[in-house]
Structure 1
Amino acid sequence: MTTTIKRTVKHLTLAALPLAASLTVTAAQAEEVNIYSYRQAFLIEPLLNAFTQQTGIETNVIYASSGLNERIEQEGRNSPADIILTPNTTILVDAYDKGLTQAVESDILTSNIPAQYRADDNHWFGLTTRGRVIYASKDRVEPGEITTYEELADPQWEGRICTRSGKHNYNLSLFASMIEHHGEEYTKTWLEGLKNNLARTPQGNDRGQVKAIMEGECDLSLGNTYYFGKMITNTEEPEQVEWANSVNIVFPNQEDRGTHMFISGAAVAKHAPNRDEAVQLLEFMSQDLAQYMYAQENFEFPVKPGTPYSALLNQYMGDFVADDVSLTAVVDHVDEASRLVDEVGYDF
């Protein structure tokens, strides 16, 4: 007998839906899981197809770039949300701080996801990782000339560094990790040195910094690893391939603590009406097939140790030492990092 599995993905925008009415669950419905996703559809739909094929559980998705935590908060106990999918730790922790998540005790999750990439109390879990690396001009920076984050504050780089805003969560995560490793006083001095070395006022996104390197405006920048993949494969905007080819990727601190990592991740919503199905989806996303698919699609690193990298990551990045500091500890310093950014006038 052939079984046909029906899967529903609702492409909905946040503004188009009344509160607590978009994903109503009734007893007559088949097993399903309702996902509030900050991650884009092209990243997760292949995984959801595979999940439904394997389990028969249908998936319903609301996609939005912002505001989903606030929506769940307003919906309260009537929220249909089962899982929150996010592109970074900041949004996960915001959901946790708002009381929108619940603990999940799962041997599968604790086995597949290293402790540093999940909440100490199992309220959120990392699903992919990315490194915060240094992009260095091939023409103007010799290999090995810079090897650590700490060296970004060295006066030799005065007027040679570009970054996006210090208040962006990618940079705040790195700065918070510096506080965890070195303390607040050291990090403030380091930030002052980094600011003094900027070639221009912080602006743009990570890709924009690499463009500035190619154009000779600066020699170094901070960026996430997956942006290199997005640039080097961008056939629709071939100028981005040129940007990527103008830089080397430096994984900092390979001789000591390793490169700062952060995550995309997920949490089970506090009032999840389909909790068991939500846990099944979370477990599925931590296992080999989904890990490979999820990481491959966005040039990210699988969170599960031993999962193969994409061919592109193997070609350009390969093995490196990752910082194993707990992201829970790092997140605890984000507010301090934000304050230090203001105190040193980083963005001005």
Structure 2
Amino acid sequence: MRLLPAAITLPLLIASSMAFAQDKVVNIYSARHYPTDEALYSDFTKVSGIKINRVDADDAGILARLKAEGAASPADVILLVDAARLWRAEVDGLFLPVQSKTLQAAIPDNLHAKPADNGAIAWFGLSTRARVVVYDKLKFNKSDVDSYEKLADPKLKGALCIRSGSHPYNLSLFGAMTEHLGVEKTETWLKGLVDNMARSPKGGDTDQIKGVASGECGVAVTNTYYLARMMRSANPADKAVTERIGVVFPNQSSWGTHVNVAGGAVARHAKNPDNAIKFLEYLASPSAQNHFANGNNEWPAAKGVSFDNPALKAMTGGSFKSELIPISAVGMNQIKVQQMLDRVGFK
């Protein structure tokens, strides 16, 4: 056997090792700031041998960074926590549409981007958060708030607490309402919300929940994972809050409760696209989906996944009727919604 000179073999070995290292890495830009996700990352590396490099920022910061970096961006995977931002990034061309039989089989059609002509999909929802109503059980009945429309009923005047209308969680809810009701009726509904406010919008969803428990508000709107977090807390004060309030999954007798998605996509200029797809497919697997539920109190997005989270099960018995309008349609209504908010004075 003929041996190559060292001057030739050393560069070949270096090049080979560099290629191997490139094959075994995936670079993630993530808006998920949940310590429990660390187990997901380490498990993926364990089962795949692919190392994860991660940059954490909020949704807006990630999108701004991708635009600034352009083709030089090292990002392979983008993880965002709001449907409107996923849609915006798709429209801005920041994602690389991909074809994955695994992802398309696991994720329902309404929880991913509309397929391109060739069947490729720009992003996939990986977990969901229901937008529910909590109410003071001493002041109101469940039937008073069992639909989003009833939040604008004059009987709730001075009772409603809600975070800023321009927060992505509310923009997505209001975008869904626009899809259901049309612009004119949605604007009338938004004006009703403003008229019923107990105070100007402020704080996060946990603040709205506590506002109901303290008596400052009679009803409030929150994402389920904030409420589930308090229900599972060992803090006596949190337990006292959850005992005072009731929770309603609105519109169970009509189109279903609004859900927002946290999702993922392959970055437009991914240097490791195959590894990026493997990571997204892993996040759609039953084990990862169960972790979303148990670790961060989110509802699984994949079909047929069971979970053991006691707080989520206590809220609904484990399941509820969710709306089925495409998330992409919700995103497309964002500009209309912002204009309506301005007109009705919803800060």
Q: Does 1:103 align with 2:97?
A: yes
Match of 1:71 in 2: 65
Q: Does 1:49 align with 2:47?
A: no
Amino acid at match of 1:27: A
Rounded Cα–Cα distance in structure 1 between residues aligned with 2:260 and 2:88: 15
1:199-255 Cα shifts (integer Å, max 9, x gaps): 1111111111111111112211111011111222333x5423322222111000001
Per mean C-alpha deviation after superposition, the further-off stretch among 214-223 and 26-35 is: 26-35
Match of 1:6 in 2: none
Match of 1:333 in 2: 333
Rounded Cα–Cα distance in structure 2 between residues aligned with 1:147 and 1:95: 34
Match of 1:163 in 2: 162
Amino acid at match of 1:270: R
CA contact (8 A) 1:191 1:344 kept: yes
Aligned to 1:199, what secondary structure does the other structure show? coil
Rounded Cα–Cα distance in structure 1 between residues aligned with 2:101 and 2:90: 21
1:300-346 Cα shifts (integer Å, max 9, x gaps): 10001221232221123322110011111111101111111110002
Match of 1:21 in 2: none
Post-superposition shift, 1:154?
1.0
CA contact (8 A) 2:231 2:311 kept: no
Post-superposition shift, 1:145?
2.7
Change (3 A) 1:238 1:54: same
Amino acid at match of 1:74: A
Amino acid at match of 2:33: Q
Match of 1:188 in 2: 187
Change (3 A) 1:342 1:293: same
CA contact (8 A) 2:34 2:296 kept: no
Rounded Cα–Cα distance in structure 1 between residues aligned with 2:315 and 2:253: 20
CA contact (8 A) 1:40 1:63 kept: yes
Rounded Cα–Cα distance in structure 1 between residues aligned with 2:34 and 2:299: 19
CA contact (8 A) 1:132 1:259 kept: yes
Structure 2: unaligned runs, 5 residues or longer = 1-16, 116-120
CA contact (8 A) 2:84 2:330 kept: no
Aligned to 1:132, what secondary structure does the other structure show? strand
Post-superposition shift, 1:94?
2.8
Post-superposition shift, 1:41?
4.9
Match of 2:229 in 1: 230
The structure carrying a bigger helix percent of its residues is 2
1:28-74 Cα shifts (integer Å, max 9, x gaps): 51511111111125142211211112111111111123512222222
Q: Does 1:276 align with 2:274?
A: yes
CA contact (8 A) 2:66 2:94 kept: yes
Post-superposition shift, 1:27?
2.7
Per mean C-alpha deviation after superposition, the further-off stretch among 89-98 and 274-283 is: 89-98
Amino acid at match of 1:275: P
Amino acid at match of 1:149: Y
Please tell me the root mean square deviation across aligned C-alpha atoms, in Å: 1.6
Question: Which has the larger Rg?
Answer: 2
Rounded Cα–Cα distance in structure 2 between residues aligned with 1:230 and 1:134: 16
Spell out the pairing of 1:1-348 with structure 2 (5 A cutoff): 26-27=18-19, 29=21, 30-65=23-58, 66-121=60-115, 122-235=121-234, 238-309=236-307, 310-318=309-317, 319-347=319-347
CA contact (8 A) 1:41 1:63 kept: no
Question: Scaled by the length of structure 2, what TM-score is found?
Answer: 0.89
Amino acid at match of 1:87: V
CA contact (8 A) 2:144 2:150 kept: no
Amino acid at match of 2:93: G
CA contact (8 A) 2:44 2:279 kept: yes
Rounded Cα–Cα distance in structure 1 between residues aligned with 2:200 and 2:166: 13
> Identity percentage over the alignment?
39
Stretches of 4+ aligned residues off by more than 3 angstroms:
none
CA contact (8 A) 1:81 1:272 kept: yes
Rounded Cα–Cα distance in structure 2 between residues aligned with 1:203 and 1:240: 20
Amino acid at match of 2:338: S
Aligned to 2:125, what secondary structure does the other structure show? strand
Q: How many residues of Structure 1 are paired with residues of Structure 2 in the alignment?
A: 322
